[in-house]
Amino acid sequence: MSDNGTMRRGRPGYDQQGILDVAVAAFNEFGYDATSMGVLADRLGLSKSAIYHHFASKDEILDRALDTALGALEGVLAEADTATGRAADRLDLVLRGAVHVLVDKLPYVTLLLRVRGNTEVERRALARRRAFDKEVTSLVSEAQAEGSLRSDIDASVVSRLAFGMINSIVEWYRPGGREDADNLAGDVTAVALDGLRMPTSNRVQELLG
């Protein structure tokens, strides 16, 4: 993005998204600091000047990549905020949505999870991650207060454990495997929430016989 927020047009014949995809793969493989514009140019078969027609700097590429992952996750929260029903059900939507984001944008989320705050771009991304985590924790607290989730576990611990499990998917998930995103999301919410949900009155009756 340029300073005024408009999309910079690249040289005809080159695709900006394609450059971004290749750059993210290189950042994940070599690390952001070790990936020079020369490395990207070699990967793309372009000159460095051709890349600069699309992006002003390597930092701008990183910023766009991290925004792709964070924007998708923030969109999941926004959808849950507009949903009706109990907080526990909205939390279910967030967890399922986060799994879908991870599967759909696996390289971008992988890059986000490796950010350590070494640059201003990374520090901004970490601030957005903390804000996201805070919103999820608030949703857990709301679900506990309404009585739909057990309240004997700290809300921040619940949030960290749930997303620790979701984030671990980047280490082993491979697209095209046995489970698609819907099945994987169902597995995650079953493991994360079934042990936390308070039984409904009907379920209490069933348990009591």
Q: What are phi and psi of 195, to 5 degrees?
A: -80, -5
pLDDT in the model for residue 196: 72
For residue 56, pLDDT beyond 70: yes
User: Minimum mean pLDDT among 67-76, 107-116, 128-137, 169-178: which range?
Assistant: 169-178
Residue 169 burial by CB count (10 A; 0-12/13-18/19+): exposed, middle or buried? middle
For residue 30, pLDDT beyond 70: yes
Cα-based distances in Å from 32 to 24, 135, 148, 186: 9, 28, 42, 33
pLDDT range class, residue 207, cuts 50, 70, 90? very low
Q: Rg of the chain over CA atoms, in angstroms?
A: 20
For residue 4, pLDDT beyond 70: no
Q: How far apart are CA 198 and CA 149, in angstroms?
A: 5
Q: How far apart are CA 151 and CA 74, in angstroms?
A: 26
For residue 147, pLDDT beyond 50: yes
What are the residues whose beta carbons fall under 8 Å from the beta carbon of 55, sequence distance 6 or more?
A: 8, 16, 19, 61, 64
Q: Which of 134, 137, 2, 121 has the alpha carbon at shortest distance from 63?
A: 121
Q: Is 149 helix (H, G, I), strand (E, B) or coil?
A: strand
State the average pLDDT for the chain: 88
Residue 58 burial by CB count (10 A; 0-12/13-18/19+): exposed, middle or buried? buried
pLDDT in the model for residue 177: 74
- Of all residues in the chain, what percent carry a pLDDT higher than 70? 88
pLDDT range class, residue 14, cuts 50, 70, 90? low
pLDDT range class, residue 208, cuts 50, 70, 90? very low
For residue 154, pLDDT beyond 80: yes
Q: What is the pLDDT of residues 61-72, one digit of tens each?
A: 999 999 999 999
pTM of the model: 0.84
Name the H helices within the chain. Answer: 16-30, 37-44, 48-52, 58-82, 87-104, 106-113, 120-145, 155-172, 181-193, 201-208
Residue 3, number of CB atoms within 10 A of its CB: 6
State both tokens at 99. 């799994």
- Mean pLDDT of the region 83-102: 94
